[in-house]
Structure 1
Amino acid sequence: MRLDILSRLNAERAARRAAVVVTDLATHEQRLILAAEVEADPLAEALGAGLRSGKSGTVQHEGRALFIAVQVPPVRLVVIGAVHVSQALAPMAKLAGLDVTIVDPRTAFATPERFPDVTLLPEWPDAALARIGLDRFTAVTALTHDPKIDDPGLDAALRAECFYIGALGSRKTHAARVSRLLAAGHAEADIARIHAPIGLDIGAVSPAEIAVSVLGQVVGALRRKPTRAETAGPRP
């Protein structure tokens, strides 16, 4: 790989931004495509598929064999609330390859005994998230039902354009949440990105079933191709 491309690729990696290196297998010519440049590229379809899957591979384009080397940051799941659903969600998400962080200032709930083997931050979300940083390869779930804890996490996730944002609660609860976020300066179109009630509609009842529905929704947001309507509107 050319040194200039490697240097730029390392810079993107350090900034947790995705990038793709395309190599012509016949001529060995290379070029670097940053995530923000993908949609305008002639290989947009193949590049988009590679970024969604995180997989590198060979494609054919105009009679040429090209190798697409995909670099994406480790995908993170930040869970606001050390609740029963979180206890089930954390190990499932780890098995799915996500880097899990639990954030909850209530130290009686946010304990290593309840959440072994994951990053645990017994802090208020606004302080914790400002320190760890959020980005387009981060999913955020707000699960406490407490606006004082959930709202700062949702506010930060919206401003960071996280690829998935979800919040536990009824439609009535979410309507009140929407009013608070509008008052905080968020646009209706941006707030509409929040999945609420959270999770796939599978009739989940128990904390473990709700965790399954949430994880499925997170993976779907990460991997599936956006619909035409989603492409036209705000998206990660």
Structure 2
Amino acid sequence: MRLALLSALNAERAARRAAVVVTDLATTAQRLVRAADVAADPLAEPIAEALRSGKSGTVATEAGPAFLTVQVPPVRLVVIGAVHVSQALAPMATLAGFDVTIVDPRTAFATPERFPGVTVLAEWPDVALARVGLDRFTAVAALTHDPKVDDPGLDAALRAECFYVGALGSRKTHAARVARLLAAGHAEDAVARIRAPIGLDIGAVSPAEIAVSVLGEVVGALRRKPTRAEKDGAAAAPAAR
């Protein structure tokens, strides 16, 4: 790999941005395709699919086979609220390969004993998330039901264009939440990205079942191919990944 290409790839890695190195297997010529440039690339579809899956591999092109080397930042799940659902969600998400962080200013709940093996920040979300640094490879799930705790996390997640933003609560609760976020200056299409009530509609009742539904929705947002309607909406909002 040429030094200039390696330096450019390392710069994308340091900035937690996805990129793909395309290698022509016949000529060994290489080029770097940044995530922001995928749509304009001749191999847009296979590159986009490689980024969704996070897997490198060989693809057929008109010029012959090419190898796509995928660089995707480690995907993070930030959970706002050290609640019972979070206790079930954290180990599930860790097993699924997410880097999990729990954020809750209530020190009685946000303890390493209740959340072994994951990062726990007993701080207000606006303080903690500024340090964590949200981005398009981060999912945020707000689970406290307390606007004082959830809203700052949702605000930060929307501004960072996280690939998934979800919030616990009824439709009535969410309507009030939407009004607050709009009043805080967020655009309607941005607020509409919040998945609420959070999780897949599987009839979940217990904290563990709700955690399963949340994780399923997060994985779907990360991996599945966007629909035509979602692609059309991308003109108003950049892609999440």
User: So what's the TM-score if we normalise by structure 1?
Assistant: 0.99
- For 1:60, the equivalent position in structure 2 comes to 60
Query: What are the within-5 Å matches in structure 2 for residues 2-21 of structure 1?
Result: 2-21=2-21
**Helix, strand or coil at the partner of 2:27:** coil
Match of 1:105 in 2: 105
Give the counterpart letter for 1:32 in structure 2: L
SS of corresponding position for 1:195? coil
RMSD of equivalent CA atoms: 0.6
| Distance across 2 between alignment mates of 1:179 and 1:63 | 53
The alpha carbon displacement at 1:232 in A equals 1.1
* Whole-angstrom distance in 2 between the partners of 1:231 and 1:122: 38
Residue 47 (structure 2) aligns with: 47
What is residue 36 of structure 1 aligned with on the other side?
36
Q: Deviations over 1:104-150 (max 9, x none)?
A: 00000001110011000000000000111000000000000000000
The alignment partner of 2:212 has SS state of helix
Q: Where does residue 129 of structure 2 map in the other structure?
A: 129
1:160 is the counterpart of 2:155: no
Give the C-alpha shift of residue 191 in structure 1.
0.4
Q: Secondary structure at the match of 1:177?
A: helix
Measured after TM superposition, the shift of residue 35 of structure 1 is 0.4
Aligned to 1:175: 175
Tell me which amino acid in the other structure corresponds to 2:183.
A
What's the CA shift for 1:63?
Answer: 4.2
Report 1:81-120 matches (<5 A).
Answer: 81-120=81-120
- 2:148, 2:159 → 1: CA distance? 18
CA distance in 2, matches of 1:91, 1:131: 23
Secondary structure in structure 2 of the residue aligned to 1:77: strand
CA–CA separation in structure 1 for the residues paired with 2:117 and 2:104: 16
Residue number in structure 1 paired with 2:76? 76
Distance 2:216 2:74 in 1: 18
Query: Distance between the aligned counterparts of 1:35 and 1:188, measured in 2?
Result: 26
Aligned equivalents of 1:112 and 1:59: distance in 2?
A: 45
Output the amino acid matched with 1:132: V
Q: Secondary structure at the match of 2:55?
A: coil
Give the TM-score of the pair, scaled to structure 2: 0.97
Aligned-partner SS, 1:79? strand
Partner of 2:226: 226
Unaligned runs of 5+ in 1: none
Residue type at the aligned position of 1:92: M
Identity across the alignment (%): 82
1:134-149 to structure 2, matched below 5 A, reads 134-149=134-149
Q: How many residues are paired up?
A: 236
